[in-house]
Chains A and B, each alone.
Chain A
Amino acid sequence: MLYFSKFRIFFIFLISLLFILFASSNIFKFTNKLLNKKINLGLDLQGGSYLLLEIDNTPIIEQKLQNLTITIRNYFKEKNIKIKNIKLNNQKLSFTVDEQYKKIILDEFSDEESNINPYYQRFKTHQLDIIDSNNSFTVSYSNQGIIELKTSSQDQALEIVRRRVDEIGTNEPNILKRGNDRILVELPGLDDPMRIKSLLGKTANLTFRFVTNNTEDSFGAEKLMYEDSTEEAMVSKRIILSGDNLLDAQPRMNNETNETVVSFTLDRVGAKRFGKATSTGIGKQLAIVLDGKIISAPVIRDTIASGSGQISGGFTFQSATDLALLLRSGALPAPLKIIEERTVGPDLGQDSINAGMIALIIGFFLVILFIFIKYKIFGLITNVALIINLFILVGVLTIFEATLTLPGIAGIILTVGMAVDANVLIFERIKEELRNEKNNLIAFDSGYTKSRTAILDANITTLIAAIILFFMGSGPIKGFSLTLGIGIFTTLFSVYFIARLLTVLYVSKNKEKEGLI
């Protein structure tokens, strides 16, 4: 255990130096691209928001099943089968047919080639499940069908969320999928978390529909509230234009009315439809509906053929900016709900950094002092190894551009406290060996050898705890397990290479000295 070849010494020296160089790139600026890496600060240290959003897929499922009623009816009409009593209830469709057609219906639904019920070859299952109960059929989404539906709405929602966040222009947002109906948004250094929360909470489903008095409208009509008052109006369900037709939207100042408005530009299809609707509907009120509430319902005075227009609705400049942003980035496929939020202000983050650093420095100093008093020259060796250990740990975190959190700093401090354990085990063992062995070299050698299994076992158990934390924990806790886990490896390196090398150098010079340790 006590022999080091020249090559090995050089190698240890090189590795230590390399990591120290990487660690120092957090303080100095290197022009070299490879070296210019930094540890990322977690949201708890630099301030920012962590938002976990959940997609409420119920409206989508209901909508799809609603569409399916028509599809089923038409599909079987071609086969001269009359679907009767088709109803949507509790995310299930039920209908009845005449007795002699029952088998055909079941065959169609279980046919792998049929268009009515897509078959997922990979999962060996259909999109829809059909149950034949007494005299009616019940159709609902199969497990896989629900998963497919959720995944696709998650993809769409992710895209929209990303657009909205990008529009606000925060630096380096992190937007990730979680499960099949959640989206994780991490926004570092955000000034106004309330604004982004309200922006992400809006579906932004925009429609232009005529106000109608005629409840017998062939498309049906519904009573909707105004956004800024308790008034209601009857609005046709026929959609003239939707948010999909928008090319652009911007907040503007209307010079005539001195009011903030949102001006929009329509695509070709939209412009055509808008022109037609405004020419036939002069004198009528056109309601602009956002997420089920009327923003405003101006009276059409003229045909608008230019494909652009304005929405007014008593906006402030801020609310007009936000509405324009929402319209530009598009509507979410389904409502999003914020189910977890953690926001840290920038000054608390800075306070945490300061507190963490002070704790690290004091903890480090106390440990170093204690070890030096306890072991003198070997304490010094341990301490040198400990300092290099800390640099290597920071260096590794830098190379991986890992995220440092406050619990992560705690993990580093804890590593400092526990890192000396291995050296203590070795030195105590050497002391024992020296009681029966007069030869320093032999005693040191067997001290290292005999303590090895205990050190390995002890570190593996801590590593197990760190790994579990890494996979089960979230955010800040992950940071703790990361530093604790990497700390185990850097500790072993510093103990078995750096501290041992220094010990060997010292002992080989003081072979004959008694009471060495």
Chain B
Amino acid sequence: MIAFNKYYNKFNILSVSLVVISMLFLLFKGLNFGIDFKGGTLIELRSTDSKINVSSLRDNLNQMNLGDISVKKFGNDTDYLIKFEINDNKNVIEEIKTNLDKSFGNNFNFRRVENVGPKVSAELLRSGIIAISVALALMLIYIWIRFEWQFSLGAIIALFHDVIVTLGLFSLLGLEINLSIIAAVLTIVGYSMNDTVVIFDRVRENLRKYSDIKIFDLTNISINETLSRTLITSVTTLLALLSIFLFGGEVLKGFSLAMIFGVIFGTYSSIYIANTVLVRLNVTQKTVLREDSKN
């Protein structure tokens, strides 16, 4: 049996500092919002001419006065991603096409064009925040119905930890936040909850079984009993996600990366956050027995 409980304090300090650092990053560095949430235009180009490179492309587009413009390689050597701010010109795509054709010859294939206006991006951001909040609230309610409030609190603190630290990591690395990241965050919420619930289920069962074991050791027993399941499921989920990350194409990269972070944090938080909340709230057999008599 691994003595997870020996490190409860140390990892709690680590988690608190991680959350604080993440918050500071979110506050001061902020998130790198993509055009979904900031508005603007995105163009994915493929060139057939190998002589074209990022800087020549950038120089050319800079002459068009498109405001803050970013040009990057995208996956392939011949693929480029161009992003610029909200532009009132209705025909901007057409003008870019004409301009590029003039400067580089007809060598470009416009593979993807996305254009999000300011009104829509504000709405998407709002509905993304609402979606995550509603998800957290519903999880809280569900766990509250299924378990005692102490468990509910533990699960929610673990969830907040996962969401904040994942977003903090995105802020630190400057990775783009777009619609698919919201989907990833929501799935992380589901996954982390899933993991926590399995351990909590065992904690509750053991609380009923053993009246003489303190919660400090009891959580450790429960973690150990469910450990192999926790690991196997994390591994299979990570295998699936890794395969999306490596082979699923550029579009899914950010999504699968966020999920990979989330699964790792989620597994960690189920063990070291959710359980320690139970310990700190001094949950005893009485807590679950009261629940039983209530039903």
**Which residues in A have some Cβ–Cβ distance to B below 8 Å?**
44, 52, 54, 193-194, 197-198, 201, 337-345, 347-348, 351-352, 355-356, 358-360, 362-363, 366-367, 370-371, 374, 406-407, 409-410, 413-414, 416-418, 420-421, 424-425, 428, 432, 450, 453-454, 457-466, 468-469, 472-474, 476-477, 480-481, 484
Report which residue of A363, A374, A414 has the largest number of chain B beta carbons within 10 angstroms of its beta carbon. A363
Q: Is B249 in contact with A356, judged by CB distance below 8 angstroms? A: yes
CB < 8 Å neighbour of A462 from B120, B190, B229: B190
Q: Is B90 in contact with A424, judged by CB distance below 8 angstroms? A: no
CB < 8 Å neighbour of A468 from B135, B237, B247: B135
Q: Is B190 in contact with A465, judged by CB distance below 8 angstroms? A: yes
In the complex where A347-B111, A424-B229, A464-B135 touch, is A359 in contact with B247 (Cβ < 8 A)?
yes
Closest chain-B Cβ to A51's Cβ sits at a distance in Å of: 9
Q: How far is the CA of A375 from the CA of B161 in the complex (A)?
A: 33
Q: Is A345 in contact with B236, judged by CB distance below 8 angstroms? A: no
5 sampled A-B residue pairs with Cβ under 8 A: A340-B116, A340-B120, A410-B252, A457-B197, A462-B191
In the complex where A348-B111, A356-B249 touch, is A410 in contact with B135 (Cβ < 8 A)?
no
Q: How far is the CA of A197 from the CA of B259 in the complex (A)?
A: 36
In the complex where A345-B110, A469-B183 touch, is A367 in contact with B135 (Cβ < 8 A)?
no
Closest chain-B Cβ to A497's Cβ sits at a distance in Å of: 21
Chain A residues with Cβ under 8 A from B117's Cβ? 337-340
Chain B residues with Cβ under 8 A from A468's Cβ? 131, 134-135, 138, 186
Q: How far is the CA of A338 from the CA of B90 in the complex (A)?
A: 8
Q: Is B112 in contact with A345, judged by CB distance below 8 angstroms? A: yes
Q: Name B238's closest neighbour in chain A (CB-CB).
A: A417
Interface string of B78-118 (1 = CB under 8 A from A): 00000000000011011001000000000001111111110
Q: How many A-B residue pairs have CB under 8 A?
A: 216
Q: How far is the CA of A459 from the CA of B191 in the complex (A)?
A: 9
Q: Which of B49-79 contact A (CB under 8 A)?
A: none
Tell me, yes or no, whether B248 is within 8 Å of chain A by CB: yes
Q: How far is the CA of A438 from the CA of B49 in the complex (A)?
A: 71
Q: Is B110 in contact with A464, judged by CB distance below 8 angstroms? A: no
Q: Is A458 in contact with B194, judged by CB distance below 8 angstroms? A: yes
Closest chain-A Cβ to B102's Cβ sits at a distance in Å of: 17
Q: Is B191 in contact with A344, judged by CB distance below 8 angstroms? A: no
Q: Which 6 A-B pairs have the closest CB atoms?
A: A417-B240, A465-B190, A363-B243, A355-B249, A472-B131, A339-B117
Q: Is B201 in contact with A454, judged by CB distance below 8 angstroms? A: yes
Q: Is B248 in contact with A355, judged by CB distance below 8 angstroms? A: yes
Report which residue of A338, A345, A362, A472 has the largest number of chain B beta carbons within 10 angstroms of its beta carbon. A472
Q: Is A406 in contact with B252, judged by CB distance below 8 angstroms? A: yes
Q: Name B202's closest neighbour in chain A (CB-CB).
A: A454
Q: Is A407 in contact with B183, judged by CB distance below 8 angstroms? A: yes
Q: Is B142 in contact with A370, judged by CB distance below 8 angstroms? A: no
Q: Is B239 in contact with A367, judged by CB distance below 8 angstroms? A: yes
Q: How far is the CA of A198 from the CA of B193 in the complex (A)?
A: 48
Q: Is B139 in contact with A461, judged by CB distance below 8 angstroms? A: yes
Q: How far is the CA of A106 from the CA of B60 in the complex (A)?
A: 64
Q: Is B240 in contact with A367, judged by CB distance below 8 angstroms? A: yes
Tell me, yes or no, whether B285 is within 8 Å of chain A by CB: no
Q: Is A474 in contact with B135, judged by CB distance below 8 angstroms? A: no
Closest chain-A Cβ to B76's Cβ sits at a distance in Å of: 9
Tell me, yes or no, whether B256 is within 8 Å of chain A by CB: yes
Q: How far is the CA of A462 from the CA of B182 in the complex (A)?
A: 15
Q: Is A428 in contact with B229, judged by CB distance below 8 angstroms? A: yes
